[in-house]
Amino acid sequence: MQTITVLYDGSCPICIKEMLQYQRFEKSGEVNWFDITGQDEWLQARHIDPEAALLELHVLSPDGKPVKGVDAFILLWQRAPLLRPFAWIAGLPLLKGFIKNSYGWFTRRRLARDGRLPGNHCKKSK
């Protein structure tokens, strides 16, 4: 397999912990890690909305194209032998939608809790 670049939020302790966990599983050297904190211009040069990059995982495929969400996780999991079964399971149509919605909910909640939710997506209770 060819190398991918995983974009992660270096301002997020959970994201850093997950990245370190993935690094333990992936020993092939086929994954590069890039902290997107303060890298808005870099992201925009690659046609990635900086706010979207905070809301869901983005990976640059071997040809440099951005892949996001569940498909980004699948690309990452395919490169770690112990996680390959999860890549296959996550690609199943019924589970893919569930994973996407669950991850989106969790990410928005984490960013709102930290006061970093892009676009002011928080709804105020009446």
For 93-108, write each residue's pLDDT tens digit.
888 888 888 877 887 7
In a domain, 86, yes or no: yes
In a domain, 126, yes or no: no
In a domain, 125, yes or no: no
In a domain, 33, yes or no: yes
What's the pLDDT at 124?
Answer: 38
In a domain, 75, yes or no: yes
In a domain, 11, yes or no: yes
3 backbone dihedrals φ, ψ, rounded to 5°: -75, 140
pTM of the shown model = 0.79
The total of structural domains in the chain comes to 1
Specify the residue for token string 């211009």: 41
- pLDDT tens digits for 29-81? 899 999 999 999 999 999 999 989 988 899 999 999 999 999 999 999 999 99
What's the pLDDT at 122?
Answer: 41
For 11, the domain range is 4-118
In a domain, 104, yes or no: yes
What's the pLDDT at 84?
Answer: 93
In a domain, 124, yes or no: no
Question: Residue 6 — pLDDT band, cuts 50, 70, 90?
Answer: very high
What's the pLDDT at 86?
Answer: 93
* Pairing, β 31-35 against β 58-60: unpaired
In the sheet that holds 58-60, the strands lie side by side as 31-35, 4-8, 58-60, 66-68
Name the DSSP class of 36.
-
